[in-house]
Amino acid sequence: MKKFISVIFILFSAFCAFAQSAEMMDQIIEADKVTYGQISYLSAVHQKLVGDEATEEEALNALLNVKHLSKSVLPETVITLEDLSCLYLKMWPSVKGGFMCRITNKAPRYAYKQLQEDGILPKNSDPWNTVSGFEALNILTKCMMTYVPEEERMTLNDDGMED
């Protein structure tokens, strides 16, 4: 039951928070290993760098243009937990992070360590691991719950509609 509720919450958060196309969200959820293109899409749409009709390649290029990616990669390249952490942390510029995170402009290694420190990632996780689409959205939801001020979070009233 707990897993079912988590799935519903993640899906609702993902669909409402970003307003991406349902097809793209389905692709991400069903992915065994999430790619740079998929995570770039989530990040770029959230930051309003591209519209929700954008392709993964357009989203990836938008992140390269604002220097949220330090290297040119193909959209279909599988992303590591470390690089996923970097892209997620850069979605919230107000998050300062620790000393090394700040002076390296949220470099992947230190972004990953910051997510561990904030309790979003387990301390025993491996930065070189890949994650499924479901896991990536779960991490994104934890980031939203941690980094988005409570007054800006979406809430549901008794009839299930957004306030």
Band (24; pLDDT cuts 50, 70, 90): confident
Q: Which amino acid is at 55?
A: T
pLDDT at 44: 94
Average pLDDT, the chain: 85
Q: Which amino acid is at 63?
A: L
pLDDT in tens, 68-107: 987 778 999 999 999 999 999 999 888 888 899 889 889 9
Q: DSSP for 36-72? A: HHHHHHHHHHHTTSS-TT--HHHHHHHHHHTTS-SS-
Q: DSSP for 127-140? A: TT-B--HHHHHHHH
> What is the average per-residue pLDDT within 3-20?
57
Tell me if the pTM is above 0.85.
Answer: no
Per DSSP, what are the bridge partners of residue 35? 78
pLDDT in tens, 120-134: 999 999 999 999 999
